[in-house]
Structure 1
């Protein structure tokens, strides 16, 4: 029989990147957190956690963490109608651009949203699925179509990215009209170390990676940095239409776009509440994202 208190402790250590913070969240001592995990490892006969900084799950630890997420959904599903929870804690891994463009109305449209406490984990769409693999989240939005073990994936649509910059920025760095060579020397905006959209864009133009970077870990701030003339970068078309219309941002390569597919990843043991949320997200995506 699995000790679910130990699984909760294991999940908290990973989620909060350490034993001390996990203990505060669980309202127990740090030694109690360690003891629960040690007892779990003793019972299973192998480690579930690598004591690195931050701690990392072993393969067994990942399977147990995934199991815990699915159990939580099963618990939601078996609640009787007159035992509906007052609050549902929903942890999702999503990309920042989705939050800043189309996702919020989808979360609000879910019929159970008034009872849902959303904990959104911001991850680049290329790497967000790792949160599902680690069993840290109940659902994930990312560009991968391959579901994790025990999971399913539903196509939401495509988010189109354009390479944009301010007119003054282009005038400052572009030496020859209709040439793209200047982009290799001009400052490039990056959301994070996982952001490869600019590299994909330059590769489409048969150019090498940019030599200068401005790191901007904010979707809104990314656009504002470009408007201020501090760099060029890939931005969601649905986020910048007004700036394109006003001329505050211009497309530096109108014939070159990056289309990023987005998928909703969820556990097969999906509760009624998570199914409601998935349908609301899919409905909003159908109206907002490109459907191919």
Structure 2
């Protein structure tokens, strides 16, 4: 049986980014919060926090935090169903894994009204769309946006739509590297820009063109920085069409191969035991799919 006072101390330390502010939120002394964390670690038989600035959860700590979140969501339902229960009046915090391109484009517009009307705080973990589901499998988040259609055990998946990517480069880059026009085979010999080591989108794009093997590339783990690097002529890259409409219209970015986009499906995965709040959020996102390109 979990001692939820100990778990609440862990959640407060992580959410408030320190022991002092956690103590203020919980109405305890800083020493008392520290003692609760130590007792939790003694019972777990291993550390639940990395004592850094700010403190961060260990793998065991993340699993415990996810359990706390699920319990809070279920308690939220009980508060609305059982008269007289004190809900505490605190906003609900949701830990969600999300790919950087969604965060840079449609996500904020889709969630703004919902978070305001439902008193929700978001804790976003930015992951590539191909690997975000690992966070749920590890018990780290309550939901994620990723490219996989297959939900893990105990979760549901809903197709939101797809993001259309186009291979783009600056006019100067095209003039320098492809003065006679672009051929697929040439793309491996010119610098590309890749989001990170887990980003396989460029690999899939080249494979669809019949080009296999490695290619030269920069690594840029920032969606906005990615656009700036392509505009500056450091390399070519696959960019979300909806993120660069203005650059395309002004001619600051040009497509390498006309009519050769690649669509990445986006699925919303959430725990079945997430309570009515997650269910409402799922319905809200399903209604907001006009913000994303439809799946062809």
- Interval of TM-score (by shorter of Structure 1 and Structure 2): 0.7 to 0.9
Report SS of the residue matched to 1:183.
helix
- Take 1:151 and 1:66, find their aligned partners in 2: how far apart are those partners? 14
Question: CA 1:12–1:216 in 2, change beyond 3 Å: closer, same or farther?
Answer: farther
Checking the alignment, whether the CA contact within 8 Å between 1:22 and 1:33 is kept in structure 2 is no
Question: CA 1:40–1:179 in 2, change beyond 3 Å: closer, same or farther?
Answer: closer
- Of 166, 189, 206, the match for 2:170: 166
Report SS of the residue matched to 1:80.
helix
Checking the alignment, whether the CA contact within 8 Å between 2:9 and 2:36 is kept in structure 1 is no
Q: Is 1:227 aligned to residue 213 of structure 2?
A: no
Q: In the alignment, which residue of structure 2 is the partner of 1:4?
A: 4
Number of positions where the alignment pairs a residue of Structure 1 with one of Structure 2: 279
Q: In the alignment, which residue of structure 1 is the partner of 2:77?
A: 77
Q: Which aligned pairs between 1:89-104 and structure 2 lie closer than 5 A?
A: 89-104=93-108
- Take 2:131 and 2:5, find their aligned partners in 1: how far apart are those partners? 29
Q: Is 1:273 aligned to residue 277 of structure 2?
A: yes
Report SS of the residue matched to 1:171.
helix
Deviation at 1:2, TM superposition (A): 2.1
Report SS of the residue matched to 2:158.
strand
Q: In the alignment, which residue of structure 2 is the partner of 1:44?
A: none
- Take 1:22 and 1:128, find their aligned partners in 2: how far apart are those partners? 26
Q: In the alignment, which residue of structure 2 is the partner of 1:259?
A: 263
Report SS of the residue matched to 2:244.
helix
Checking the alignment, whether the CA contact within 8 Å between 1:69 and 1:138 is kept in structure 2 is yes
Deviation at 1:276, TM superposition (A): 2.5
TM-score between the two structures when normalised by the length of structure 2? 0.80
Q: In the alignment, which residue of structure 2 is the partner of 1:190?
A: 194
Q: Is 1:88 aligned to residue 78 of structure 2?
A: no
Question: CA 1:200–1:99 in 2, change beyond 3 Å: closer, same or farther?
Answer: same
Q: CA RMSD of the aligned region, Å?
A: 3.1
- Take 1:25 and 1:138, find their aligned partners in 2: how far apart are those partners? 24
Checking the alignment, whether the CA contact within 8 Å between 2:160 and 2:292 is kept in structure 1 is no
Gaps of 5+ in 1: 42-46
Question: CA 1:22–1:86 in 2, change beyond 3 Å: closer, same or farther?
Answer: closer
Q: In the alignment, which residue of structure 1 is the partner of 2:53?
A: none
Q: Is 1:214 aligned to residue 218 of structure 2?
A: yes
